[in-house]
């Protein structure tokens, strides 16, 4: 993917992959030193990030009218003075359901700091609507010769105030720009308002938003405008299921007509006579099993009783309590032994680097959740397999994973005590496999994962992507297939640390 046009030279040089990033370590440190203590006035912040009024109004009107050509066909007047062009224009998306339901207050504060038109409530304006009509407005004006609109489109950065699921939603919509050849793709900064915030932790934005959030918002916006940019791998997931539908799927999972079943791979169950497909993208992890079931129950409890979700700490307490009551510890007492482990319903295959052959990976019978992880952070900042020594990695042919190196880790969680100890970092998870993808070159060979899930006595299987869970319907007679492969284009994320 082509490097985006970035406003300042320091940031532009930070775009190359991690090997190049290391050589600029000293520059990065000097850029960010004492950044948290820098005092920025409201006037200075506005001058740096706020769009000219005529463009703010034009973008707003195009989104409201759902017509990206409206600005080009109307009498929008560009400014006479190009000094009005901001150094690093910011657009902010706020999930009002995140942050212990503090989202509306945070949105109000953001609108007061920059402008009402540059802050979007995700319950009112979806990311794909902004990309189609908002960015389309700037592109239409730029095609008419508006240099201010052109420069703002090239320099723009996005700030997402929400949890991992919200960040993934926005990143996924921005990724469509690559397919449409609408470059550059704006990089994303994170204001962590979720429960786990693993994406935010991985890129230096912290595990939660400060209690003194009113003053922290201004500093966060300033950091979002000056911090360097790094790359993030993303992974496509395709679910091919017997006829039927997923009830209330997360917004990151969409119905698709594209259903693919590799006939060259051994299938243990029965092929469905007709299929439906769902497709999505994850950036941190995909999981199936008991951890997804707990997440599913927690999300529904939070939606039914929003007064319980009044902050990250309360969320984690409720989450832990819910996990103890939803099967991690009680399965031995209430379930048929044949239903306890994923081994009874799931077959796992992987395709390794430089290999066209599928390899079957045995799932231990004690494993009740399988996680495919892209980053080091899972379950609110935990590293599931601990700090692996170099001799361990070399012995098993593994390398230490990075956010942009095309590595995907697969690990398993066993009983409730095992999951709990992993979360408090007393022990490590069961390291099942590591997938590798060759760096993009002429061969374009990629690693892949295939899960076959057989129904039998299981009526539902619970799955989640980046903290957004759903209930996957199962049938007694036919298998459901989950295919995971790497997305060719990487996402751009602003480094907060």
DSSP, residue by residue, 444-482:
----EEEEEEE-TT-SEEEEEETTEEEEEE--SSSEEEE
- The whole-number average pLDDT for the span 460-478 is 88
Can you say whether residue 21 is alpha, beta or left, with left for phi > 0 and alpha for psi between -120 and 50 degrees? alpha
Q: What percent of the chain has pLDDT over 70?
A: 68
Contact 428, 392 (CB under 8 A): no
Quick one: CA dihedral 467, 471, 476, 479, positive or negative? negative
pLDDT for 55 beyond 90 = yes
pTM of the model: 0.76
Residue pair 400/384 in contact by the 8 Å Cβ criterion = no
Could you tell me if 413 and 369 are in contact, meaning their C-beta atoms sit under 8 angstroms apart? Answer: yes
Write the DSSP string, 327-375. TTTTHHHHS-GGGSSGGGTEEEEEE-TT--S-EEEPPPTT--EEEEESS
* pLDDT for 21: 36
Mind listing the pLDDT tens digit for each residue in 10-20? 333 333 334 33
- Kindly state the average pLDDT of the residues 186-210: 87
User: Over the stretch 137-190, which tens digit does the pLDDT of each residue have?
Assistant: 999 999 988 999 999 999 999 999 998 889 999 999 999 999 999 999 999 999
Cα 2 to chain centroid distance, Å, stands at 21
pLDDT at 436: 34
Distance between CA atoms of residues 50 and 44, nearest Å: 10
At 18, give phi and psi (nearest 5°).
Answer: -60, -30
Q: What is the pLDDT of residues 267-322, one digit of tens each?
A: 887 888 888 899 999 998 898 988 788 778 777 666 666 655 555 555 555 555 55
Percent of the chain with pLDDT over 90: 33
Mind listing the pLDDT tens digit for each residue in 119-141? 999 999 999 999 999 999 999 99
Cα 458 from Cα 466, distance rounded (Å)? 24
The residues, ordered by sequence, that sit 6+ positions from 154 with a Cβ below 8 Å of its Cβ are 4, 5, 184
Average pLDDT, the chain: 75
pLDDT reported for residue 258: 78
- The pLDDT score that the predictor gives to residue 182 is 95
CA torsion angle 187 251 290 341 (round to 10): -100
**Where residue 28 falls among pLDDT bands split at 50, 70, 90?**
very low
Looking up tokens 């009526």 gives 459
What pLDDT does residue 40 have? Answer: 76
* Rounded distance between C-alpha atoms, residue 409 and residue 436, angstroms: 9
Structure tokens at 317: 């307490």
User: Helices 53-65 and 147-155: crossing angle, nearest 10°?
Assistant: 80
**In this predicted model, what pLDDT tens digit does every residue of 388-444 receive, in sequence order?**
566 655 565 555 667 777 777 887 777 544 444 444 344 444 444 444 333 222 122
Query: Please, are residues 344 and 310 in contact by the beta-carbon 8 Å criterion?
Result: no
């Amino acid at each position: 993917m082509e490097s985006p046009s970035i406003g300042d030279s320091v940031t532009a040089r930070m775009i190359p992959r991690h090997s190049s990033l290391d050589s600029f370590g000293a520059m990065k440190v000097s850029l960010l030193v004492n950044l948290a203590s820098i005092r920025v006035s409201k006037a200075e912040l506005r001058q740096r990030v706020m769009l000219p009024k005529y463009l703010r109004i034009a973008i707003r009107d195009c989104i409201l009218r759902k017509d990206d050509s409206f600005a080009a066909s109307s009498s929008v007047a560009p400014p006479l003075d190009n000094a009005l062009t901001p150094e690093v224009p910011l657009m902010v998306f706020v999930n009002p359901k995140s942050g212990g339901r503090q989202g509306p207050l945070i949105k109000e504060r953001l609108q007061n700091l920059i402008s009402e038109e540059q802050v979007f409530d995700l319950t009112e304006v979806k990311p794909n609507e902004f990309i189609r009509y908002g960015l389309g407005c700037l592109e239409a004006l730029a095609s008419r010769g508006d240099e201010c609109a052109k420069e703002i489109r090239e320099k723009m950065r996005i700030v997402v105030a929400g949890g991992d699921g919200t960040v993934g939603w926005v990143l996924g919509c921005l990724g469509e720009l690559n397919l449409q050849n609408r470059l550059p793709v704006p990089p994303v900064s994170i204001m962590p308002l979720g429960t786990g915030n693993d994406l935010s932790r991985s890129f230096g934005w912290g595990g939660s938003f400060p209690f003194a959030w009113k003053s922290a918002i201004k500093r966060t916006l300033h950091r979002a405008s000056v911090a360097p940019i790094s790359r993030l791998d993303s992974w496509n997931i395709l679910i091919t299921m017997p006829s039927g539908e997923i009830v209330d799927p997360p917004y990151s999972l969409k119905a698709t007509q594209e259903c693919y079943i590799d006939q060259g791979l051994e299938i243990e169950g029965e092929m469905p006579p007709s299929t439906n497909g769902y497709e999505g993208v994850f950036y941190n992890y995909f999981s199936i099993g008991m951890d997804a079931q707990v997440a599913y129950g927690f999300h529904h409890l939070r939606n039914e009783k929003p007064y319980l979700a009044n902050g990250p700490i309360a969320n984690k307490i409720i989450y832990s309590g819910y996990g103890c009551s939803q099967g991690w510890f009680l399965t031995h007492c209430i379930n048929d032994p044949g239903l306890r482990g994923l081994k009874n319903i799931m077959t796992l295959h992987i395709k390794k680097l430089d290999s066209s052959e599928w390899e079957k990976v045995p799932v231990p019978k004690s494993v009740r959740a399988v996680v495919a992880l892209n980053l080091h952070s899972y379950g609110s900042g935990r590293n599931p397999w601990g700090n692996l020594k170099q001799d361990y990695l070399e012995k098993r042919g593994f390398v230490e994973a990075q956010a942009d190196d095309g590595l995907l880790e697969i690990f398993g969680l066993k009983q409730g005590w095992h999951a709990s100890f992993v979360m408090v970092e007393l022990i490590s998870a069961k390291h099942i496999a590591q997938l590798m993808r060759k760096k993009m070159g002429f061969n374009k060979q990629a690693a892949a994962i295939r899960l076959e899930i057989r129904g039998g006595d299981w009526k539902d299987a619970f799955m989640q992507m980046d903290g957004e869970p759903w209930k996957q319907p199962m049938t007694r007679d036919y298998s459901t297939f989950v295919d995971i492969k790497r997305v060719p284009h990487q996402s751009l994320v602003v480094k907060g640390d």
